[in-house]
Amino acid sequence: MKWWSCSTILHRVRSGWIICLSLLLAACSRGPESVLHDYAERVARVVEQPLAEPASVALPTLALRELELPLAKADVGLLEFLRLNVCELGMAVGKKNSTLGKVAPPSQRMHMERDFLLLAPDCVAQLQDSRPELSNKLQQALQLKQSQRLQQWWNAWLTAKEWQQFISSAAAPLEMTGDEPAHLSRSLQALDYAIAQGQRWQQQDYVYNSSDMEFHQQQLLLGETLGKWLHAQALQTDVLNRVAQVLEQRYAEKPLCMTGQQTDKAKILFTVFQKFYLAQVQPYMSRSDQLGQQLLADLTALQSTLQQQNITVPKAYQQWLAQLQQRQQGFTRASQRHVYAWRTTLTECGFIPGQ
């Protein structure tokens, strides 16, 4: 018999803990692709069925140029602007007509339109007696801008670079971490802000803080949340279908527990179910699915804001949103198929799913 000193034992214990800790840290740092692939491979090995190759699926894309709503021009000309020095509106008109104003990004253009909509009524009244012709021209411009207020709001959000990054199909998949990534709540808050702003503009309530709007748009850009969700959804849908397929094939050819007794392979499979599906994959699916439901609800609300005013939503957006909804339905079907395949196998072997 070999005897070890206390120092040797302590050294081995410490080494064991270091190895365990290293393995845990490595598992935490693995991306969702690795975790999902590992899960599928483990199930396939246990049931001794060939695992199908990952499906190649292109994520839906949406070009910003297809989202822009046309706007009729109602700018007050330079000569008229020079005659508006008696009104506070003159500065806003001058900014809009400047070189920088004409190349301003969508959000900045909306800020200038807001200033016009807020300042023009007082200027119209102020010019009514002294310059009735200019007052009338300004009133017509105001009416046109009021009629196009939601188109301006739509363009400010959905034709901006921030939106393009938010929906980018090149984004990495949603993170697989213990804590919820901060960008999820921030992106959803940004969408809520945009929707609430659009609803206020419906009621001709144009007041908002420019820096608040730009902060929320920046959160969309930094988070890339919708693109991450789409990527994660595609990965999960594919893996769920492939795992369900190998379970179905094994059950159809030769069930793991033909006599109803738990076999060694069945016990190993149940361990995979508990340690890999329930502990890793299922929480990730739940987070992704909940996020998808919230995103789809907000995207529908953005569309409804235009429809409530009988404004035609860009066809490209309608088709893109329909694609997202169909993909979410595909994920739900894959999840149901996956659950049924596991339930069939585990019931046959006398296990209770989730025990």
User: Could you state, in order of their start, the residue ranges of all structural domains in the chain?
Assistant: 30-54+224-348, 70-172+183-222
Q: Over range 110-132, report the average pLDDT.
A: 90
Contacts (Cβ under 8 Å, ≥6 apart) of 239? 36, 37, 39, 40, 54, 281
Res 352 pLDDT > 80: no
For the chain, give the percent of residues with pLDDT over 70.
85
| Confidence grade of residue 195 (pLDDT, cut at 50, 70, 90) | very high
The closest of 214, 284, 213, 302 to 39, measured between CA atoms, is: 284
Query: What pLDDT, on the 0 to 100 scale, is given for residue 130?
Result: 82
Q: What is the pLDDT of residues 260-272, one digit of tens each?
A: 788 999 999 999 9
Closest CA to 62 of 310, 322, 306: 322
How many CA atoms, within 13 angstroms, populate the side-chain half-sphere of residue 275? 10
Mean pLDDT of 164-180: 90
- Are 164 and 22 contacting, i.e. CB atoms less than 8 angstroms apart? no
Average pLDDT of span 229-247? 97
Q: Is the pLDDT of residue 18 over 60?
A: no
CA dihedral 189, 169, 180, 323 (to 10 degrees): 70
Q: What is the pLDDT of residues 271-307, one digit of tens each?
A: 999 999 999 999 999 999 999 999 999 999 999 999 9
Contact criterion met (CB below 8 Å) for 334 and 236: yes
**What pLDDT shows up at residue 73?**
82
What band does 46 get if pLDDT is binned at 50, 70 and 90?
very high
- The average pLDDT across 186-210 equals 97
What average pLDDT is seen over the chain? 87
Exposed, middle or buried: residue 53 (CB in 10 Å: 0-12, 13-18, 19+)? exposed
What is the predicted pLDDT for the residue at 8?
44
pLDDT digits (tens, 9 = 90+) for 73-101: 876 665 565 566 667 777 777 666 665 55
Q: How far apart are the C-alpha atoms of 284 and 277, rounded to whole Å?
A: 10
Q: How confident is the model at residue 102 (pLDDT cuts 50, 70, 90)?
A: low
- Asked which of 38-42, 185-189, 310-314, 350-354 is least confident by mean pLDDT, the reply is 350-354
